[in-house]
């Protein structure tokens, strides 16, 4: 099981849909989150992309030297960059970070935003372009290990004698991730990607998507890894967790929710429509599955659901998804710095052994915890050591 966190390059706050409780997201703050995630034992971080975000490549590159083991899931944007340039960028990042880059193929789902980036293709054409883009990208990187060049003439994209002189560390190329719910997206994933991502829908819906994806990939002689993107609100008791969920949206007004939902409805992203359909903007229908809360999606695009509960409950829900075949979980919480620490402290000890080992393998030895009364070493479960007779 791999646990990722999130770098909030589009902003961070204690409350959604309002400037109340907001904080400035600058490089120092992003570095704090990355260093915390690295020290706590998270496998990596997702860095978002789009008009509302700082550039993911520059952000990720600026954090390489601040971290030791953390991997960076960075966006590939067909139509925004050429596949040959993206291959060089990926290889360079992989070399500079010693094999710590992962690539997230993002075709986009907002035509208005895409036009602002100079992309005027409709949904179907974007996926045709993405399929050719990904093929070129993969082949250039794969052939770089043997010094070969690659020529390709497709319906949408072409390259002649494309060659990469500095190969990536990871072979044959840094792993390619992708999420999409449309038929075009499923076809692309089955043919070319390594990890298929889904947003946090109820387990039954996720199972249906994974079963379909497995069948499509198997028909092409391929097997994929699977990941899920969720928020999390964990507290020491279920009551505290649900109170925190309510507080997260306590200042967002109905007009803001209505405006956000209208915007989401205008997008051609099937995944975004599925997210919005979980609640349809109704505050009274936000627990869409046991402990799966859709309140984040009232005003936030993309992943809009959160696991809510005490540590044991959240761990149990994570294991339900793991039993479906999910091996990577990408979490986030508001504010992202504090919640990255809270989640690791409360939930990591309840997850499978490889995650627990990351948390419990510091380079220093004890004592751990604040010394009690300047004299006693704290023991497990807050038992105070007895003073020798």
The stretch 331-354 carries a mean pLDDT of 93
Residue 166 in domain: yes
Q: What's the whole-number mean pLDDT along residues 282-299?
A: 90
Tell me the whole-structure pTM to 2 decimals: 0.89
Interstrand relation of 158-162 and 71-76 (parallel, antiparallel or unpaired): unpaired
Query: Is residue 108 very low, low, confident or very high in pLDDT (cuts 50, 70, 90)?
Result: confident
Please indicate whether residue 158 or residue 381 has the higher confidence score (pLDDT).
158
Number of domains in the chain: 1
> Has residue 238 been placed in a domain?
yes
Tell me the pLDDT band of 368, cut-offs 50, 70 and 90. Answer: low
Lowest mean pLDDT among 79-93, 172-186, 265-279: 265-279
Q: What is the pLDDT of residue 382?
A: 44
Where does the pLDDT of residue 367 fall: very low under 50, low under 70, confident under 90, or very high at 90 and above? low
- 123 found inside a domain: yes
Q: Please indicate whether residue 111 or residue 162 has the higher confidence score (pLDDT).
A: 162
For residue 54, tell me if it sits in a domain. yes
pLDDT score recorded for residue 379: 72
Least confident of 28-37, 48-57, 91-100: 48-57
pLDDT attached to residue 251:
93
pLDDT for the residue numbered 364 = 59
What strands lie across the sheet with 292-293, from one edge to the other?
Answer: 231-234, 306-309, 292-293, 287-289
Q: Is 315 helix (H, G, I), strand (E, B) or coil?
A: helix
389 lies in some domain: no
Residue range 271-276: mean pLDDT, rounded: 74
Alpha-carbon dihedral sign for residues 114, 27, 256, 285: positive
User: What pLDDT sits at residue 380?
Assistant: 56
Residues contacting residue 194 through CB under 8 Å, at least 6 positions apart: 175, 176, 177, 224, 225
How many whole angstroms separate alpha carbon 186 and alpha carbon 212? 8
Give me the pLDDT at residue 371, please: 66
Kindly state the helix (H) or strand (E) to which residue 210 belongs, with its residue range: helix 203-219
CATH number of domain containing 345: 3.20.20.30
User: Is the pLDDT reported for residue 111 higher than 80?
Assistant: no
CA dist 140 and 148 (Å) reads: 8
Q: Once rounded to an integer, what is the mean pLDDT over residues 282-297? A: 90
Q: Model confidence over 40-57: pLDDT tens digits? A: 999 999 999 888 889 999
Q: Flag whether pLDDT at 384 surpasses 80.
A: no
- The average pLDDT across 96-102 equals 98
> Which pLDDT does position 352 carry in this prediction?
85
Give me the pLDDT at residue 385, please: 42
Q: What is the mean predicted confidence (pLDDT) over 370-374?
A: 68
Whether 387 maps to a domain, the answer reads: no
Banded pLDDT at 365 (limits 50, 70, 90): low
Residue 388 lies in a domain: no
Q: Residue 308 domain-assigned?
A: yes
Query: What is the reported pLDDT for 258?
Result: 85
Minimum mean pLDDT among 35-39, 99-103, 194-198, 371-375: which range? 371-375
Residue range(s) defining the domain that contains residue 176: 2-382
* Cα 137 from Cα 128, distance rounded (Å): 14
* Predicted confidence (pLDDT) at residue 113 exceeds the cutoff of 90: no
Would you mind telling me the total number of residues written for the chain in this entry?
A: 389
Of the listed ranges 62-76, 257-271, 339-353, the least confidently predicted one is: 257-271
Supply angle C-alpha 222, 90, 84, rounded to 5: 85
Q: Which tens digits make up the pLDDT trace of 208-227? A: 999 999 999 999 999 999 99
pLDDT for 127 equals: 85
pLDDT in the model for residue 150: 97
Tokens of 279: 């609640």
Arithmetic mean of pLDDT over the chain: 89
- Give the DSSP H/E element, type plus range, for residue 258: helix 254-266
């Amino acid at each position: 099981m791999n646990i990722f966190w999130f770098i909030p390059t589009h902003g961070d706050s204690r409350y959604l849909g309002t400037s109340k409780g907001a904080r400035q997201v600058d490089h120092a703050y992003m570095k704090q989150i990355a260093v915390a995630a690295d020290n706590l034992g998270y496998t990596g971080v997702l860095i978002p992309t789009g008009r509302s975000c700082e550039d993911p490549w520059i952000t990720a590159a600026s954090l390489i030297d601040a971290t030791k083991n953390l991997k960076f899931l960075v966006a590939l944007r067909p139509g925004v960059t050429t596949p040959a340039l993206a291959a060089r960028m990926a290889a360079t990042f992989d070399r500079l970070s010693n094999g710590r880059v992962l690539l997230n193929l993002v075709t986009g789902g907002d035509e208005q935003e895409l036009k602002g980036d100079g992309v005027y293709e409709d949904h179907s054409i974007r996926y045709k372009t993405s399929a050719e883009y990904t093929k070129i990208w993969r082949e250039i990187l794969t052939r770089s290990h043997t010094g070969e060049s690659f020529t390709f003439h497709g319906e949408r994209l072409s390259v002649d004698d494309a060659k990469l002189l500095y190969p990536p560390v990871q072979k044959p190329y840094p792993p390619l991730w992708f999420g999409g719910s449309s038929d075009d997206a499923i076809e692309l994933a089955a043919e070319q990607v390594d990890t298929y991502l889904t947003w946090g829908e109820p387990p039954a819906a996720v199972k249906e998507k994974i079963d379909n994806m497995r069948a499509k990939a198997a028909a092409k002689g391929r097997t994929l890894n699977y990941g899920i993107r969720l928020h999390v609100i964990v507290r020491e008791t279920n009551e505290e967790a649900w109170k925190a969920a309510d507080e997260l949206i306590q200042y967002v007004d109905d007009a803001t929710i209505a405006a956000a939902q209208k915007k989401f409805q205008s997008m051609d992203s099937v995944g975004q429509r599925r997210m919005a359909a979980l609640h349809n903007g109704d505050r009274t229908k936000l627990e869409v599955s046991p402990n799966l809360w859709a309140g984040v999606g009232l005003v936030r695009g993309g992943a809009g659901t959160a696991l809510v509960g005490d540590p044991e409950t959240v761990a149990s829900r994570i294991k339900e998804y793991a039993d479906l075949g999910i091996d990577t979980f990408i979490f986030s919480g508001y504010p992202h710095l504090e919640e990255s620490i809270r989640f690791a402290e409360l939930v990591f000890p309840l997850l499978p052994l490889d995650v627990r080992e990351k948390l419990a393998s510091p380079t220093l030895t004890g004592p751990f915890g604040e010394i009690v009364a300047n004299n006693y070493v704290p023991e497990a479960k807050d038992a105070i050591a007895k003073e020798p007779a």
